[in-house]
Amino acid sequence: MRRITVFNQLSLDGYFTDQNGDMSWAKAGNDEEFNQFTTENASGGGVLLFGRVTYDLMAGFWPTPQAANSFPIVAERMDNLPKFVFSRTMREASWKNTKVIKGDLPGELRKMKEERGKDMCIMGSGSVVAQLAETDLIDEYQIVLNPIALGGGRTMFEDLGDRLNLKLTKSRIFKNGKAFLCYQPV
């Protein structure tokens, strides 16, 4: 069975976007050690899953010359991997290798998990994460905690109805102050 992993960067006060929906703050303080980690972490390939808002942010950055110059390996992988965007309003996606899925999010992902293929990764997409957290479809949460407080924004678990108990399975502290925390549902 395919696995679903969440990979998100969070501020110390728990936000993955700021008040304006921007995620660029997560690039601040990146250094050679952290960039090597993100390149290695992205090397497994797989399928990328997004909500519409995060998809728009990602599609506005990763297929650009700026991304290719700053993060060449990650940008190439982001651009070429298969992508699914879950949206009730989007008709078609402009970023290559992207399919729009409408309808029952948990039901669609349950079917996708049972199909043969590579594992899947949700990036950003707080509303998608919150909807799936309560369905036991997410196998792992990979969090990069950034040494910054945003004072407001969107949380990764927007509108989570029930408590979500997690256990820490691995961690890593970087010289730039960022911490990688990996959790699995209990």
Is beta strand 83-86 parallel, antiparallel or unpaired with respect to 98-101?
Answer: parallel
| Per-residue pLDDT tens digits for 71-113 | 888 889 899 999 999 999 999 999 999 999 998 899 999 999 9
| Per-residue pLDDT tens digits for 43-75 | 667 899 999 988 998 999 999 999 999 888 888
Stated pTM of the model? 0.90
The whole-chain average pLDDT of the chain stands at 91
Q: Can you give the pLDDT at residue 109?
A: 94
Most distant CA atoms of the chain, gap in Å: 43
Q: Which percentage of the chain shows pLDDT scores above 70?
A: 99
Of residues 124 and 79, the one with the higher pLDDT is 79
Any idea which fold 4-180 has?
Dihydrofolate Reductase, subunit A (3.40.430)
